[in-house]
Amino acid sequence: MTQSYRLQHLFKKYLRNDCTQAELEELVTMLNDMDDDELDGPMKALWQKAKENSDENNVDWDKMYTEVTGSEESLVTIRQTRRSNFRRLWINVAAAAVVLVILAIGMGYYLRKHATPPRTAFAEKLVPVKKTDSIILDDGSKIVLNAGSSLRYPDSFHGRTREVYLEGEAIFDVTHDPARPFIIHSGQLKTVVLGTKFDVSAYPGAEKMQVTVISGKVSVEEIGSKKIATLLPNQRVVFNTKTNAFVANNLASVAPQTAWQEGRIGFDDASLAEVAAQFYRRYGVHVTLENPNLANCHISIVLNNDLIDNLLKTITSLTNSNYRYKGNEVVIYGEGCN
């Protein structure tokens, strides 16, 4: 063990009040045997270097220096020595203190840069068909999940963002927090907000994925093209998974997008293929289209929760089609739309 390392070791034990009598005498001897000239230069150099590299450590070096070199009675209570030895002792103590501080800063910096961050524990909320459910997250944000949806979210939010993962559809009422943006990953869309209320629909395999703002302000990015749309209330962005079109538009009302939360069923320029998919999620009934051209028919309407037959009659009357049952399934047939 080198002399300087032994000095640091003994001084650490002294600070912890953990020195034996023999170690205490050894420390005093080592300090007394070192000349002032041997310490003054290195001590000043180390102190200056520490000051120059202290930007991110927020240390008041001038105050520390004053306290270390100006508190002889508190620093040196090892034994009664001659006045000359006493002065030499506190100078050595100050030098050792600087070495310890620099070592601590270096170790702290290394740990911040190289330590593995703690793994975030995620929970998952699954909502079956014919059901809706809600959840309140760690930050107070409330999320209502539509039928056939799932949400992955951390047990508690850490760091500079609040991130969740959605498959399906949900209405988010996000607690405002300017310091930690709330991010929803949903298929090809990434939605970033500070605090607002909006609907995200991104079912796996769906032709359209969309975000509709109810209140506040939302930023939506399409991952592939990196296109970004900023939305205000009564605005929506739609990403077409087949054509890769990413289009924002104004809405007269958000009722078709939010009707499901109120127990109703809404369609906004929805194709019959989209209607069939939503019918299954809502009622657990499979709907097939006999004629592929029927997929080109679109409807816009909000309907109250009613008997399935009444709903089917309304939908088929708007698309010049008809329906029949085939076992437990519903078949819509007709000429279709061009």
Q: Which domains does the chain have, with CATH numbers?
A: 3-114 (no CATH), 117-252 (2.60.120.1440), 264-338 (3.55.50.30)
Lowest-confidence region among 82-86, 139-143, 234-238, 284-288:
82-86
Tokens found for residue 109: 């910096």
pLDDT digits (tens, 9 = 90+) for 45-76: 444 544 455 444 444 545 544 544 444 443 34
Tokens found for residue 258: 């939010």
Give the Cα separation of 213 and 192 in Å (integer): 12
Q: Of 14, 163, 175, which Cα lies nearest the Cα of 92?
A: 14
Model's pTM, two decimal places? 0.65
Contacts of 65 (CB under 8 A, 6+ apart): 47, 94
Q: In the chain, what is the greatest distance between 2 CA atoms, to the nearest angstrom? A: 111
Q: What is the model's pLDDT at position 210?
A: 97
Q: What angle do CA 15, 19, 21 make, to 5 degrees?
A: 140
Output the average pLDDT for the chain. Answer: 79
